[in-house]
Amino acid sequence: MVQKVGIIGAGQMGNGIAHVFALAGYDVVMSDISQENLDQAMETIRTNIARQTAKGRVSEEDAAAALARIKPVIGLDGFSEVDLAIEAATENEEIKKKIFQDLCPKLKPEALLATNTSSISITRLASTTDRPEKFIGLHFMNPVPVMKLVELIRGIATSDETYKTAKEVVKSLGKTTASSEDFPAFIVNRILLPMINEAIYTLYEGVGSVEAIDKAMRLGANHPMGPLQLADFIGLDTCLSIMQVLYEGLADSKYRPCPLLVKYVEAGWVGQKVGRGFYDYRGEKPVPTR
């Protein structure tokens, strides 16, 4: 029975996951390495819950109760009591493994462990823990409070009981699961990221401008946002790391990251979060950067 949830990482994904669990009535411990990150995360959660309240989706009482259920902590204090720990740190295998090494000794033996990785092997991550049978991939979509889907990924050792519990927990959040086998980038990113990479190749080869490519996919394929705008929203560094996982994991040249994507990441122009990517966000409205 899962009642208390611990989340490691208070970034874009971590604070969104904390938000939906708290609204669904779970007690949440949200951990990060700095107080500044935690303060920023709580501010984001407050803003997002206020937006839901303004739209009439959440009552004022439920909003206040949800915020009161989230306990921000530096490090891993309070994780000895959690029934489920979810790692939502940056998309870097070494960082994730280090978190699991520090976290496992603090968890109670029956606690379940999940990762929000969008591309890294669940089996491989599970093998670095003391509980591979209680380990599962829970890949939430961004922005977490809005998106309905959670990919459920079993590692080779994940038990039926862990899988069943995880599925029930996701359902209790009002979200829907899609089960994926443990292959590089799972389902959503296996299909989405090569499309974004292809859009960047289309720009790189001069087939169309940033504006033309995004307009074409919005109006010609009915996508809510163009692929280059979406890349900026996801973060070009994240896009590149997922493409590298696909390229290395499947050894197929069709997954080769576009050199222009590499160039933007090297420049530090990684999208909305830094004010520049395929668009420049520093003015009144986004302007294409090429």
Per-residue pLDDT tens over the stretch 205-225 = 999 999 999 999 999 999 999
User: For this structure, is 189 an active site residue?
Assistant: yes
CA distance 221 to 6: 39
Q: Give, as one character, the DSSP assignment of residue 148.
A: -
Which position among 48, 118, 119, 121 bears the catalytic label? 118
Whether residue 136 is predicted with pLDDT greater than 90 in this model: the reply is yes
* Catalytic annotation, pick one of 37, 119, 121, 151: 151
Average pLDDT of the residues in 173-185: 97
Topology match between the domains 4-180 and 190-288: no
| Residue 70: band (very low, low, confident or very high) from pLDDT cuts 50, 70, 90 | very high
- Determine whether 151 is an active site residue: yes
Q: What pLDDT is stored for residue 96 in this prediction?
A: 97
Q: Distance between CA 87 and CA 252 in Å, rounded?
A: 29
Q: What is the pLDDT of residue 3?
A: 97
Report residue 139's pLDDT band, with 50, 70 and 90 as the boundaries.
very high
- The CATH classification number of 4-180 equals 3.40.50.720
Token output for 123? 């089996």
The active-site residue, picked from 19, 87, 139, 241, is 139
List all residues 6 or more positions away from 79 whose beta carbon is below 8 Å from its beta carbon: 6, 29, 31, 85, 103, 106, 107
Preceding peptide of 143 cis, ω within 30°: yes
Which residue do the tokens 């959660």 mark? 45
Q: What are 249-254's contacts with CB under 8 Å, separation 24+?
A: 249/121, 249/183, 249/184, 249/185, 250/183, 250/184, 254/194
Q: How confident is the model at residue 77 (pLDDT cuts 50, 70, 90)?
A: confident
Which of the residues 37, 116, 180, 189 is marked catalytic? 189
Residue 175: Cβ within 10 Å count: 18
| pLDDT tens-digit map of 89-134 | 988 999 999 999 999 999 999 999 999 999 999 999 999 999 999 9
Residue recorded with tokens 């122009």: 269
Mean of pLDDT over the chain = 97
Span 78-97, pLDDT tens digits = 999 999 999 999 889 999 99
- Structure confidence at residue 161 (pLDDT): 98
Determine whether domain 190-288 maps to CATH 1.10.1040.10.
yes
Q: pLDDT per residue over 15-51, tens digit each?
A: 999 999 999 999 999 999 999 999 999 999 999 999 9
List the chain domain ranges.
4-180, 190-288
pLDDT of residue 88: 98
Asked if 118 is an active-site residue, the reply is yes
